[in-house]
Structure 1
Amino acid sequence: MDSGPHAPTTLVDVLHARAQRHADRPLYQQLASGEIVGELSYAAADRRARALAMELREHAQPGERVLLLYPFGLEYPAVFLACLYAGLCAVPAFPPDKQRATSTMPRVGAIIRDADARLILTTADLVETVEFARAEAVNPDALEILATDALGHDADRAETWTRPAQLEDALAFLQYTSGSTGTPRGVMIGHDNLYAHQRLAHEKFKQDEGAVTVSWLPFYHDMGLIGSLLYPLYHGGTTALMSPTAFLRSPLAWLMAVSKLRARVSTGPNFAYDLCVDRAARAKPDALDGLDLSSWELTVSGAEPLRPQTIERFCQRFAPHGFRPETFMPCFGMAEATLMVSGWPLERAPSLRRFSREALWTGRAEPLPEEAEDSEGRDYVSCGTPMREHEVAIVDPDTCARLPDGHEGEIWLRGPSVGRGYWGDAETSTRRFAAHIEGEAEAEAETKADSPGVWPWFRTDDTGFVLDGELYGTGRLADLIVIGGRRYQPHDIERKLAHGPDALVKEAVVFSIPDAEGKPQLCIAATGRRTSGDEVRRKLCERIAARVLERVGIEPDRVVLIPQRSVSKTTSGKLRRYRYRSALRDGELEVLWERSAGGVAG
């Protein structure tokens, strides 16, 4: 973007300027069955945002929270941009489903109560469903519902729009976390955080004007919102949108869209790449005829750890169709930092390294030679280096002292894209967004006095280590299991049970609960069939325990079988391990069979 006295400081400035520079260029396109069925140009998006912003100002004051509950389609990005133009604080959320109220209403209700929204924006078709959700508000009568379909189309009204004063200092939106380790929290992302993230992420992504992005990611998720809707706006590209449902129904349609539109960018979490490989293996021989992925330059993998096996399988399967390993950019990021913090360099194949399992048990990262046995090591993918103006530190979570390279600890970070805290939770915000490294507070104060651009540290609650200047994420601090002085990452054990050609179960959840003396017990909840007999269940539990002992070196204290399709996950696909921890402890988990280290109980 332009620099100088009139340089943009918010994405509102960026879109308003681009609407004049390339008015007719598509900003968003809607896909259905591989065809473009709708389009919103830069000029049309800017005009609609200005006109709708003027109408929204009649219903809410600048800074008030506005909940966005929309189905897939072009209305959502248009309305989100209008909220930015109006100076309102957008709150993206997944719309409730009356047919699945027990699974969709709790999260929506929690967000409605926490955000204390003034408005709910939706479509005319969803008003009745949203009325159903309004009852969750603290004061339902004060919460207005507005269908936006027919609003914001008056070109004359658009001409009356004025940019809100000090917009860069205002909140842009609340991004609610996935809730993988507890209740979702609303991260306060300012216009300044959002613009800084896109400006600095662009130095990593290096996409040109006109580059096409294909995305199936949900709009309410930070990867979908920041990476697929707003980053292309920053660099002047086009995003072709397919619905998440269409992707889940036919994962290969995602790749076909990349091929057909000659897209340069498309991203997804780890499971998406595995799903494509699995579907390709079962597809008809001609299902991939004509697939050409040679235009694909960048696929940012985030939201969950990227497994080395996933990269290898995907590259091997789709290399004949032009896919290159250099396309993968493993990243580390989170909603609290707007999206990305650290990423692998573009046009370099990801770095996959194996580390000593025994050393990792004691919190040290020691690389192994390539010829080392699989059982000796644990593979990790490098997440590269932090974005410019950002810094990462590995810190002892108990003492808050900085740890040297090659030691595992809590990942702390700071930089201009880190949000302002959690909405309505000043205590947690202070603890996590204004942290200090032990012994460095005085030096930080002196540095900040000389350089006002120094930011406070944010505690991520994630674990990892830095080696050779590169960041490796290893898991969640809340999920880390320490038994007998050794550290165990739950996902490492889960993969040995539920992934690969020799998987024992479809899904497994690993966690710990204290025994009567307060000592941690290693517990595994694995899926089993309701129709299986007792002997089948008993043998499966024995096989699970034996595999963990053989491949991880520890015998589980408890193995329980739970019904298939009962595994609880967040909207971004992360396991809610804390729910199993409390449910098993409190006797509220539906158990089909249980094996204890001291015996077996049905």
Structure 2
Amino acid sequence: MRATRTEPASTSRPLTLPALLARRAAKTPDTVAYTHLRNGEEPGEHTTYGALHTAVLARAAALSGRAATTRSAVLMYPNCLEFIRGWLACASTGLMGAPVQVPTRRHAVRRLRTIADDAGTTLVLTTREVRDQVLADFGGLPDLAGLDIVATDDLPGTPRPPGAALPAVALSDTALLQYTSGSTGSPKGVMVTHANFWANARETDDLWPLGDDGTIVSWLPFFHDMGLLLGVVLPLWSGRPAYLMTPEAFIRRPARWLEALSRYGGTHSSAPNFAYDLCARGDAPREELDLSRWRVAINGAEPVRAHTVREFTARFAPHGLDPRAVCPAYGLAENTLKVSGSPGGTEPATLLLDAEELGRGRVVPLPAERAGTAGTTTVTGCGITVGDTRVRIVDPRTRRAAGPGEVGEIWVSGPCVTAGYIGRDEESERTFRARVHGDEAAGPHLRTGDMGFVRDGQLHVTGRLKDLIVIKGRNHYPQDLEHTTESAHPLLRPASTAAFAVDDGRRESVVVVVEGDSRLLRYAGEAEVAAAVRDAVRRDHRVTVDDVVLIRRGTLPKTTSGKVRRRACREQYLAGTLARLGARTEPVPS
């Protein structure tokens, strides 16, 4: 399973992204670097390293004048090769690129402007087609006023004149402003340096070697940290080909992802847990699959569900998928991406735990025969760290190291930890330069805001610190209540619920918001669904749900990467603005 690692030509010393591209273009100019899959299926546009380098230099020369007047640029591209050219052109001129989703609704235009203002720029780079469409749809909105929207595929196609040098770019320079998804607050721009990208790509290849035959297939959006590093940076770092499709092509028909892996011999790919769930439960692929080459299927960006891993591997093992290929992982933008991961060729680690003890912050394993019984919960391991990345489990209140068998906040140190949030010095100091009390000599750490524990060398993530629901002194992780809810009735779907607490001044009340549609109301009814949810949550967690709210499908607040925005959902609940399917249901008497 584990391939022999092939060092890229430049690994004798770290290089900036422009220097790495120049090295690739000099040594392998005719090698195809990236191929875009038209409709997620057939090969469309592709670029070699030589052609990519020439195009990047041309765009960099055209942008060099603007680089003298601004320090950053918003990257408003779809998942296309022009994004790669535009971003690397920015990196070559010293501009910090800030990727955003192409807006299709007014709130996305507002987010674009918020990011541009936070990044201190009016420069927006995109394609000609996207520019014209956005201006046609939203040109009259005040949020677009004053923005300089430039189509990089319209820029002059010749490199800089002889003797005209581009600015020198250092490893410590910021190559990207990765704006956080906003699941727990307003978006913040994470300053990712060239050195951060180099370190994270190297550690990723240490953990999941691409080898001489590695091939990357990705549908993840480039404006998300996992899509950018694994779909753009890692192919450039390793010199291995990447086949790229749009997220829309995947969402319309998830089996396209698996068909592309089969058709192009994909060895490495990644996705959040919900994508594996969609494939496991979705329609059959249109063609016979051969997934025998797929040796690293990274599952990250949201809680990894043990049942999803089992269902996915069971369905596709007959198509050659090795069950050991699924690699649960943990990462975040503030660490560039990867923190830990399960090495390929090993079974994902799972632990059956006493749910009540876990709620008290203690890790108490249970025998396997207790699986599926009340008072138990299963936690999937997110693997090990490699290289110089280190993880500490720390009590978030005392900032002292947690003891063995205790849950605490995950703190991270190492070369992948980024430089902080742009323009937020105080918050950066609190988040990126925390020190463990009693062990200050260990140096600064990144506070992730995620809770977890380490057992047998494996990191296990239990949930977000800010999302904890505390009832009668016990901690409950909302994703556990959400999973129980989604399994409570056959007409409920995965990734369609949000659980949170509301304090009315006397006590904490538990609210569960559930997406539904007319079919659910027609065949089940709101009262039946609400009763099923309450019964299941009471049985599995000994928690009384005070309100079950059914809302219209597609209206649950989520981030651009698909994570549930529980705080935003809670705010809408309190404001009475959720798109309800029916009226409030009264709790069933205990």
TM-score greater than 0.5 by the shorter chain: yes
| Equivalent residue runs for 1:142-157 within 5 Å | 143-151=147-155, 153-155=157-159, 157=160
Q: Does 1:579 align with 2:568?
A: yes
Letter of the 1:279 partner, please give it: G
Aligned partner of residue 266 in structure 1, secondary structure? strand
1:171 aligned residue (171, 174, 178) = 174
Structure 1 residues 371, 161: closer, same or farther in 2, change over 3 A? farther
Offset at residue 87 of structure 1 (A): 1.4
**Matched ranges for 1:516-595 at <5 A:** 516-517=505-506, 519-529=507-517, 532=521, 536-591=525-580, 592-595=582-585
Alpha-carbon distance, 1:166 to partner? 4.9
1:124 aligns with 2:113: no
Contact 1:328/1:350 (8 A) holds in 2: yes
Matches within 5 A, 1:292-307: 292-307=290-305
Per-residue deviation, 1:484: 0.9
On the 8 A contact 2:273/2:302 being kept in 1, the answer is yes
Distance in structure 2 (CA, Å) of the matches to 1:217 and 1:133 = 26
Cα 1:211–1:330 change in 2 (3 A) is same
- Three-state SS of the structure 2 residue aligned to 1:432 is helix
Residue aligning to 1:452? none
Show the 5 A alignment for 1:199-598: 199-209=202-212, 211-280=214-283, 283=284, 287=285, 289-375=287-373, 376-441=375-440, 443-444=441-442, 456-499=444-487, 502=490, 504=492, 507-517=496-506, 519-529=507-517, 532=521, 536-591=525-580, 592-597=582-587
CA distance in 2, matches of 1:572, 1:4: 32
* Paired AA for residue 465 in structure 2: L
Which amino acid in structure 2 is aligned with residue 41 of structure 1? T
Q: Which residue of 1 aligns with 2:64?
A: 57
* Superposed CA offset, 1:313-354 (max 9, x none): 111101111001221121110011111011112221211221
Q: Which residue of 1 aligns with 2:22?
A: 16
The C-alpha deviation readout for 1:535-570, integer Å capped at 9, x for no partner, is 932333222212211121111122233333321111
The verdict on how the C-alpha distance between 1:267 and 1:385 changes in structure 2, with shifts beyond 3 A counting, is same
CA drift at 1:501: 7.5
Match for 1:546: what amino acid?
A: D
Contact 2:34 2:244 in 1 (8 A): yes
In 2, the alpha carbon distance for the partners of 1:499 and 1:105 equals: 36
Contact 1:109/1:133, CA 8 A, preserved across alignment: no
Q: 1:406 to 1:109 in 2, by over 3 A?
A: same
Partner of 2:192: 189
Q: Deviations over 1:204-247 (max 9, x none)?
A: 12112452111111111111111111101101111111111111
Task: Say whether 1:67 aligns with 2:74.
Answer: yes
Q: Which moved more, 1:318-327 or 1:42-51?
A: 42-51
Distance 1:122 1:5 in 2: 32
Secondary structure of 1:427 counterpart = helix
Structure 1 pair 504/267, CA: closer, same or farther in 2 (3 Å)?
Answer: closer
Note closer, same or farther for the CA distance 1:178–1:189 as it changes in structure 2 (3 Å cut): same
**Whole-angstrom CA distance in 1 between matches of 2:301 and 2:524:** 39
RMSD: 2.6
2:10 and 2:20 in contact (8 A); partners too = no
Match of 1:47 among 18, 43, 54: 54
Give the C-alpha shift of residue 86 in structure 1: 1.4
Aligned 8 A contact 2:8 2:239 in 1: no
- Do the aligned partners of 1:497 and 1:503 also contact (CA within 8 Å) in 2? no
What is the DSSP-based 3-state SS (H/G/I as helix, E as strand, rest coil) of the residue aligned with 2:345?
Answer: coil
Which shifted more, 146-155 or 374-383?
146-155
With CA pairs under 8 Å and 6+ residues apart, which has the higher RCO, 1 or 2? 2
In structure 2, relative to structure 1, the CA distance for the partners of 1:206 and 1:300 (3 Å cut) is: same
> Compared with structure 1, are the counterparts of its residues 599 and 84 closer, same or farther at alpha carbon in structure 2 (3 Å cutoff)?
same
Q: Give the conservation status (yes or no) of the 8 Å contact 1:480–1:487.
A: yes
Counterpart for residue 450 of structure 1: none
SS at match of 2:370: coil
Residue 398 of structure 1: how far off its partner (Å): 1.3
Letter in structure 2 aligned against 1:93: V
- What is the total number of aligned residue pairs between the two structures? 578
Residues 352, 382 of structure 1: 8 Å contact kept:
yes
**Counterparts in 2 of 1:212 and 1:521: CA distance versus 1, 3 Å:** same
2-structure distance, mates of 1:87, 1:306:
37
Q: CA deviation at 1:174?
A: 0.3
* Cα displacement string for residues 515-548 of structure 1 (whole angstroms, at most 9, x for unaligned residues): 223x322111223446848993233322221221
| Alpha-carbon contact 2:74-2:99 (below 8 Å) kept | yes
- Which region of structure 1 is more displaced relative to structure 2, 58-67 or 485-494? 58-67
Q: Is the 8 A contact 1:48 1:158 kept in 2?
A: no
CA distance in 2, matches of 1:4, 1:145: 35
Residues 363-421 of structure 1, C-alpha deviations (whole Å, 9 max, x = no match): 11122111114124211111111231111111111111110132111111111111111
Q: What amino acid is the match of 1:337?
A: N
Q: Which amino acid aligns with 2:119?
A: A
Q: Find the aligned partners of 2:365 and 2:86 in 1 and give their Cα distance.
A: 49
Inter-CA distance 43–561: structure 2 relative to 1 (3 Å threshold)? same
Secondary structure, counterpart of 1:291 in structure 2: coil
Between 86-95 and 501-510, the greater mean CA deviation after superposition: 501-510
> 2 CA distance for matches of 1:12 and 1:161?
16
Displacement of 1:258 in angstroms is 0.8
CA distance in 2, matches of 1:354, 1:514: 31
Tell me, in whole angstroms, the C-alpha distance in 2 between the residues paired with 1:324 and 1:482: 40
In structure 2, what is the Cα distance between the partners aligned to 1:310 and 1:477? 24
What letter is aligned with 2:425? A
Alpha-carbon distance between aligned partners in 2 of 1:175 and 1:134, rounded to the nearest angstrom: 26
Q: Secondary structure at the match of 1:167?
A: coil
Which of 102, 108, 118 is the equivalent residue of 1:95? 102
**What secondary structure does 2:113 align onto?**
helix
Taking the aligned partners of 2:276 and 2:23, their CA distance within structure 1 comes to 36
Kept in 2, the 8 Å contact 1:523–1:559? The answer is: yes
Contact 2:450–2:464, Cα closer than 8 Å, also in 1: yes
Provide closer, same or farther for how the CA distance between residues 60 and 127 of structure 1 changes in structure 2, counting only shifts above 3 A: same
* Counterpart amino acid of residue 19 in structure 1: A
> Offset of 1:295 from its aligned partner?
0.9
Query: Per the alignment, do residues 460 and 503 of structure 1 end up closer, same or farther by CA in structure 2, a change over 3 Å counting?
Result: farther
What SS does the corresponding residue of 2:367 show, helix, strand or coil?
coil
Kept in 2, the 8 Å contact 1:301–1:328? The answer is: yes
8 Å Cα contact 2:113/2:143 also seen in 1: no
Matched position secondary structure for 1:389: coil
**What percent identity do the matched residue pairs reach?**
36
Which residue type is aligned with residue 101 of structure 1? R
Instruction: Deviation per CA, 1:545-601: give whole Å up to 9, x if none.
Output: 12211121111122233333321111111111102222233444344232344879x
Which runs of 5 or more residues in structure 1 are unaligned? Answer: 445-454
